[in-house]
Structure 1
């Protein structure tokens, strides 16, 4: 008779930790994690977990060689089809649909291998993100779990209108239709551009781009369909209005004030600060980004850091998101880990782990399945040699990645 039981894997010789350290849960040294099928069946001291796993039937043991084991990272501001102004971006813009699909699939694979097991896409071209999500879910290509907004909503001529990863809308009726069109395509959330930014030549960061009735229409429609809304936003005045109307998340927040961050904390509006985008000259140079954009971006950096510090002090929920492609080689590591390091400078390693794992998963509404190393959760796990509670830079050394119970990377075994 054919054995139809799910594959059983015992992870051994590791220290297990997750964001519950903030709740007083200490890391578990000399731990065992029993993975059965795509989920964690048991976790705890090795002897007890091993006995439980072996009593259930044949099990394969994998020695992690004293690694630290955590949940996979979550990048909440991802663009697999990013095309900034400049020669690098032009190369992406001119790709046909087949080239774009392969380009995005390669980015998804590289993202997973960095230890990012879940992403939130916040504007992708031609709805290619939905095809990418289907391919990953079906197991045809390797990649992280994708939660996506589809195309971002903008006013006519608004931030990002030059690319087909946005949808131009006007008036409350137009924006209601825009929300519904993305939900029809399969969007998990809605992204809306409510101010100018650093990548629009004929706008400023401070430029308001939606009227209150338009934004209210976006929020009311999305929330009626059970979707959260995140907004590209820079200036405090624009963000203040959005927060009062019920915005769920702010992207960037370049020019916050103490009053605005206080209301964000009170109303539960999260912040994805994307600290990399105002301190990444080497990345801009690599892509041939024009001088006007570099000056605007780098010039916004000091105020951006002040805004982040204000948000942290006020108790705003801060979440990891790089804006730069998650896998991009930058300052000796990948963009996701570099952003996490910047976050840790302001909130410390334990809260940074929360911002890169449990916090985003809660925002995405996926906490029943992901975000911590617990019985019953999906086995999205990563391992590294250093202790990330001592230094967030330990994530630079991720050498083993599992998603849904399948090993996607194991440097010591030559996988992939």
Structure 2
């Protein structure tokens, strides 16, 4: 017999608030198996559910779990911290990534989009989580990111070097064969490549067109690591579905992105995280490039908001990483909110918006009957401040409680 729980003592709120769906105070949520069976006023839900276990959330706000759209569970930046990850054996890497997945789930991120992981270990980790052998968020992954020879990130086993249109077509098919849900391409330089700059063009139009056309033929969206406006504009014209970073956008490019429905995952943290860089021993040249790009990065983000571009939560830093009194996912969401998005749109950008991009809205993203019971609870109101997510104290994944601070435990 499948397990049943009724969650009481909560106010239900989700990203539909932007569409006029108000919070529901005094609510109850009936969870049957791994999905939500009913949501409504407590008396009604309790009457419908009958005699089953009740969990009192003691006045918490209940929302869908967060979705982090720019995740690297095997991240290895230049420096001693990254070198340590690069030195892991395949077995050690699997354990390292599994530990990161567990920490990610416990901090309230119940879904991630991996955008370049080493050795295709992400596929094995996804299978382990799905089968219940490991604890972690739901994983949507690009497998290995596609780069030109010597391109951004070419040094690691989380990328695949390709050249020419045929090479990029083959690269896309290779990731699809491995089980990729989406494709990532590196179309410009970035902050972590010593022998490049942010505005270095790295793919020619025929290569980019081949990658996008092939991915779309296989029903996969394409996202691109990209900084400079001219390269991004060309990619958007060719059908790019999402931009990562967007360090040097312009009003013209953001208008084009909005018109074509190209989303932006701004990763604001990566240009304002000196403490993180110092912790990992990131070299001075990269710190200068990253932190120096910060002001222009914020200007680009503001342009995107003004143009109506869909912006989505993504930290680039490991989602669970302790940073500035919270974790990387929440700190990124705070930056997005405080830099012009506002709390209600931030809630949408961290839940329903990403889920829609992933094409998973039938199962995720809102607190509604039929959806997976991927839920988090906190004492603060997320519609008043994105910092409410600092107070996440209870996490459920697929109907299973994995964190309960009041009871004083986390699931292994």
Interval containing the TM-score (normalised by the shorter chain): over 0.9
Aligned counterpart, 1:28: 24
| 1:156 partnered with 2:149 | yes
Aligned residues: 409
SS in structure 2 at match of 1:161: coil
| 1:401 partnered with 2:389 | no
| 1:255 partnered with 2:215 | no
Q: How far has the Cα of 1:412 moved from its partner?
A: 1.1
| 1:363 partnered with 2:368 | no
Q: How far has the Cα of 1:392 moved from its partner?
A: 0.9
Aligned counterpart, 2:83: 90
Q: Tell me which of 384, 387, 390 is aligned to 1:390.
A: 384
Aligned counterpart, 1:48: 44
Structure 1 unmatched runs, 5+: none
SS in structure 1 at match of 2:337: helix
Q: How far has the Cα of 1:7 moved from its partner?
A: 1.0
2:387 and 2:206 mapped to 1: Cα distance?
A: 44
2:409 and 2:3 mapped to 1: Cα distance?
A: 18
Structure 2 unmatched runs, 5+: none
Deviations 1:144-181 (A, max 9, x none): 00000000000000000001100000000000000000
1:107 and 1:71 mapped to 2: Cα distance?
A: 21
Counterpart mapping for 1:2-21 below 5 A: 4=1, 6-21=2-17
CA RMSD of aligned residues (A): 0.5
Aligned counterpart, 1:70: 63
| 1:374 partnered with 2:368 | yes
SS in structure 2 at match of 1:84: coil
TM-score by length of 2: 0.99
Aligned counterpart, 2:131: 138
SS in structure 2 at match of 1:168: strand
Aligned counterpart, 1:38: 34
2:232 and 2:147 mapped to 1: Cα distance?
A: 16
1:369 and 1:132 mapped to 2: Cα distance?
A: 21
Aligned counterpart, 1:166: 159
1:194 and 1:115 mapped to 2: Cα distance?
A: 32
Q: How far has the Cα of 1:413 moved from its partner?
A: 1.4
SS in structure 1 at match of 2:38: strand
Deviations 1:288-333 (A, max 9, x none): 0000000000000000000000000000000000000000000000
Aligned counterpart, 1:297: 290
1:108 and 1:399 mapped to 2: Cα distance?
A: 18
Q: How far has the Cα of 1:391 moved from its partner?
A: 1.1
1:267 and 1:45 mapped to 2: Cα distance?
A: 40
1:16 and 1:110 mapped to 2: Cα distance?
A: 25
| 1:232 partnered with 2:228 | no
Aligned counterpart, 2:315: 322
2:225 and 2:212 mapped to 1: Cα distance?
A: 14
Runs of 4+ in 1 over 2 A off after TM superposition: none
Q: How far has the Cα of 1:51 moved from its partner?
A: 0.4
Deviations 1:366-385 (A, max 9, x none): 00000000011110000001
2:19 and 2:222 mapped to 1: Cα distance?
A: 28
Q: How far has the Cα of 1:256 moved from its partner?
A: 0.1
2:44 and 2:158 mapped to 1: Cα distance?
A: 50
TM-score by length of 1: 0.98
Aligned counterpart, 2:181: 188
SS in structure 1 at match of 2:172: helix
Q: Tell me which of 284, 287, 291 is aligned to 2:280.
A: 287
SS in structure 2 at match of 1:43: strand
Q: How far has the Cα of 1:402 moved from its partner?
A: 0.3
2:41 and 2:314 mapped to 1: Cα distance?
A: 33
Deviations 1:36-79 (A, max 9, x none): 0111000011010110000xxx3100000000000000000000
Counterpart mapping for 1:303-314 below 5 A: 303-314=296-307
2:365 and 2:385 mapped to 1: Cα distance?
A: 20
SS in structure 2 at match of 1:83: coil
Q: Tell me which of 336, 343, 354 is aligned to 1:349.
A: 343
Aligned counterpart, 1:111: 104
SS in structure 1 at match of 2:269: helix
